[in-house]
Structure 1
């Protein structure tokens, strides 16, 4: 569902045209996507059954107590398709205008600031905790079931800040109902060029960038994986595709299988260490 679904639909049309074989997008959201992921892990490794995944796929390798598949070993990376920076939003009633003021306020009020995420072990949860650790602040986590309830809670001041997708929350920022004080990208967002990144605001080396990518079942022949990877990279360079992706505040990427494998492995390790520190173990 969500971003993974949109990217799958974007790619499926072009892959169908290229290979003359229908690529049908099938959503299987049951059990947080575990059912659909398991189906792909056990599918024929012929290059015609693929899985679009979010950053949490790599994280799940370390955070789940038990899964019916191995998130790393049962799949072969094809391409990291899109990167999407999360932005730091606050309730406008706070006397805060930038990231430095946010850190100072949080230090003066330990555990008084509540933040929302889409659940224990989610990307925004782990990325906020990483930000807290690097900035030396303590805040309180409140889990929600998705972006809409987080946004509502932020507007109503039930929570005071959150890391969230820029595209879905920008209308609330423009309406003055939320305040964006920093973005989590490596560079500034095209949708908010005047808003500095968290890294340039004093937290060097930090980013809150989530990614989407494509995986195939583990035994898919390397030549098929390479061909799919090359084709996806070509699709992601098409001007109309670039426009669609960047208009949503995202960045098209298109890596090689090897590059994507390295990113997944690094993420699994990094978030696994943080998850263990926080005592997260998902059922």
Structure 2
């Protein structure tokens, strides 16, 4: 072989990987012996295997590598805020970084939820409720975010049945009695809520449609003033979360007629469901969910979902949900997405049918 020089053949001038090139000798050729043929085949096979083998993945940076902003679109002391702060100790322990609650209240939760949707720092998550995820698209003509495109679902957290209550001066002792009383006074009874499209407003509109009664809506800026007016007899009825009215029910200041959950609530075991009261399908809940910007990596979403389920099992979370009258209903991202889609279809259809607007 002395004196022979080697060159690589490359089709159309393009250099291919050396081990896959057809090696040639200068004019005159190189005798191909069985030994050389075996050596060449082995070399080609090893080269092909090396190229086919998966390259080691570049190590991904740990998440989180700095504090996480945990946006709650309601004021400090609200039910979503209490639940978020009950989850943060577990998150901080397992992720090794603090989860800092940031209250961004306003527009029924839309302002804070929009802040989550538009976050680009890779370290923002949010706890939100029915409205911003399921009913806002139908209520607002110019919602600044798209719940489906701009947010990544992580986990459903907790839900609470609501309570139909009436002022003490209403003689009805049950739902049938209330319906009969309202039918005798079409359009003369009023009910309160915390605004158009709120959970209590939509649940009462659903009740009205099923029972065939006419009630006038009186929107308020918040629960406290609405409850005060109900107790004082300035409005006739409300549907609201059990935590928002339980003290007044127990003190006899208002009368609870039914709950909107599928089963009776442990806080009010003597109060029947609307379904038991003769209105099948009249089921609704107030609920909370954990979301992130749509750009959050799927691996981070999956881990957050797992750790959220674990966080909801802690004594802090169980006490927070129990005190607020909520039950834990942890889920995965896919289940939350399906649930929100179903809620959007149900309540969005009603909102459009009734022409309800919030802007």
Q: Output the TM-score relative to the length of structure 1.
A: 0.95
Deviations 1:34-64 (A, max 9, x none): 3322221121363x31111111111102211
Aligned to 1:280: 356
**Secondary structure of the structure 2 residue equivalent to 1:130:** helix
Aligned to 1:61: 137
Aligned to 1:149: 225
- Equivalent in 124, 146, 153 of residue 49 of structure 1: 124
Is 1:254 paired with 2:330?
yes
Partners of 1:49 and 1:163 in 2: CA distance: 33
Deviation, structure 1 residue 243: 3.6
Aligned to 2:22: none
- Equivalent in 97, 100, 108 of residue 184 of structure 2: 108
Deviations 1:190-213 (A, max 9, x none): 111111111111111111311001
The aligned runs of 1:22-171 (5 Å cut-off) are: 22-44=98-120, 46=122, 48-57=123-132, 58-171=134-247
Would the aligned equivalents of 1:51 and 1:216 in 2 still touch at CA under 8 Å? yes
Deviation, structure 1 residue 98: 0.8
Q: Which has the higher contact order (CA 8 A, sep 6+)?
A: 1
Aligned to 2:311: 235
> What count of residue pairs does the alignment treat as equivalent?
282
Would the aligned equivalents of 2:109 and 2:129 in 1 still touch at CA under 8 Å? no
Would the aligned equivalents of 1:92 and 1:177 in 2 still touch at CA under 8 Å? yes
Deviation, structure 1 residue 113: 1.4
Partners of 2:163 and 2:106 in 1: CA distance: 28
Aligned to 1:191: 267
Q: Output the TM-score relative to the length of structure 2.
A: 0.75
Partners of 1:3 and 1:241 in 2: CA distance: 12
Structure 2, gaps ≥5 residues long: 1-73
When the two chains are superposed, the root-mean-square deviation of aligned CA atoms in Å is 1.5
Aligned to 2:42: none
Would the aligned equivalents of 1:45 and 1:219 in 2 still touch at CA under 8 Å? no
Rate the CA distance shift 1:101–1:268 in 2: closer, same or farther, 3 A: same
Partners of 2:238 and 2:284 in 1: CA distance: 12
Deviation, structure 1 residue 273: 1.1
Partners of 2:261 and 2:239 in 1: CA distance: 12
Partners of 2:286 and 2:111 in 1: CA distance: 22
Aligned to 1:178: 254
Q: Which runs of 4+ in 1 moved over 4 A?
A: none
Instruction: Give the structure with higher Rg (CA).
Output: 2
Aligned to 1:20: 96
Partners of 1:139 and 1:132 in 2: CA distance: 7
**Secondary structure of the structure 2 residue equivalent to 1:199:** coil
Partners of 2:316 and 2:87 in 1: CA distance: 12
Would the aligned equivalents of 1:9 and 1:25 in 2 still touch at CA under 8 Å? yes
